[in-house]
Amino acid sequence: MAEEVPVLRGAGAKKRPTIREVARLAGVSHQTVSRFLREDPTVRPETASKVADAVEELGYRLNQAARTMRTRRSNRLTLILPGTSERMSPALLRGAAAEAHEAGYLLEVVSLEGDAAARTARLEALLQSEGTDGVLSFTSLGEGLAQDSEYGVPIVIDGVYDDEMRSRGAFADASIAADVVRHLADLGHRRFAHVTGPREWLSAQGRRAVYEATLDELGLESCAVVEAEWSVQSGWEAAKDVIADCGATAVFAASDQLAFGVISGLQSLGVEVPGDISVCGWDDWEIGSYFRPTLTTVSVDRERQGRQTVRRLLSRLGGEAPVGPVEAGALHRFIPRESTGPAPTRTN
């Protein structure tokens, strides 16, 4: 059977009043409104009166499909992304969709603009009007949706990305960068350079920190640290402007894009890779297996992360023992290839 393709939808429908809006108008918490809607007898009469007035004034109605969600399934799961999905890893989405499909669910991807609070409000409106059996998010949602919502829908939050789709959590873990440096040291390299990603990315910060700490631990020298963007051009410029003349015999680039640029920039100057300078990247882009030389890199198993997040949600739906997130170390694998070799016996 063919793999289920996730449905990508916007959230442009007219917004219905939410429980939080009812709560603000009534001057109570949204949990109190939820208790009122469930006809909880512990809600005080005067409080119930305020909430009832707010419900009537706003025209709030709880979707009947949501009321019966625990007993009537839609066979749909909803995946929340912040704003545009341009930076979303295809492998992460592919893994989540495949896991959902294998369990008999269609995965719908909903892009919600705004910060965490705005996404919470829009998600609440979405849950009122649309049937779903569970929600998973690869970015943070508001505090009120950190646990199962008043709609009876389990919610799993895996903070893989921030509001700008920048890697965080397990994807930002950089501990395996120590293996990259040690691999180069075992090849005889003693003078290194590092091309970083943008400083606002946690992943870039982590890779630089582990690079520097490992050099200190091994008593090795860092000849240059070049701050760059995630682009081949940035790697090219770093190679031609700094790396070629800094005396380093090994370069750790914070991404494959940067590594491709570094290699191309060095080659344009007649510097051989790995004969004169070894280069490592990060991400294991497919082209790295066909590049010349093939690229030594770090593979990140984003598909596994997507599958595991859906498994966590399915365990909640089935009332089974909780499934935890994938440990960061299990997502990364160091792959040595042709772009790294023994340190040259003679350097300029």
Question: Where are the chain's structural domains?
Answer: 1-10+64-165, 17-60, 170-300
Q: pLDDT by residue (tens digit) across 26-72?
A: 998 877 877 777 666 778 888 888 888 888 888 776 654 444 444 45
Q: Which of 140, 127, 128 has the alpha carbon at shortest distance from 82? A: 140
Residues counted in the chain: 348
| Residue 251 Cα to chain centre, angstroms | 26
Helix axes 19-26, 30-37, angle to 10 degrees: 110
CATH 3.40.50.300 for domain 170-300: no
> Percent of the chain beyond pLDDT 70?
72
pLDDT at 75: 84
Residue 199's SS3 state is: coil
The mean predicted confidence, pLDDT, of the chain is: 80
- The DSSP letter of residue 235 is H
1-10+64-165 and 17-60 agree in CATH topology: no
Token pair belonging to 76 = 């749909």
17-60, CATH topology level: 434 Repressor (Amino-terminal Domain) (1.10.260)
C-alpha torsion sign, points 244, 247, 250, 253: negative
Q: What DSSP assignment string belongs to 112-162?
A: E-SSHHHHHHHHHHHHHHS--SEEEESS---GGGSS--TTS--EEE---B-
In a 10 Å sphere around its CB, with 0-12 CB exposed, 13-18 middle and 19+ buried, how is residue 327 labelled?
exposed
SS3 276: coil
Q: Please, what CATH class does the domain formed by 1-10+64-165 belong to?
A: alpha beta
Determine the pLDDT at residue 177: 93
Helix (H, G, I), strand (E, B) or coil at 271: coil
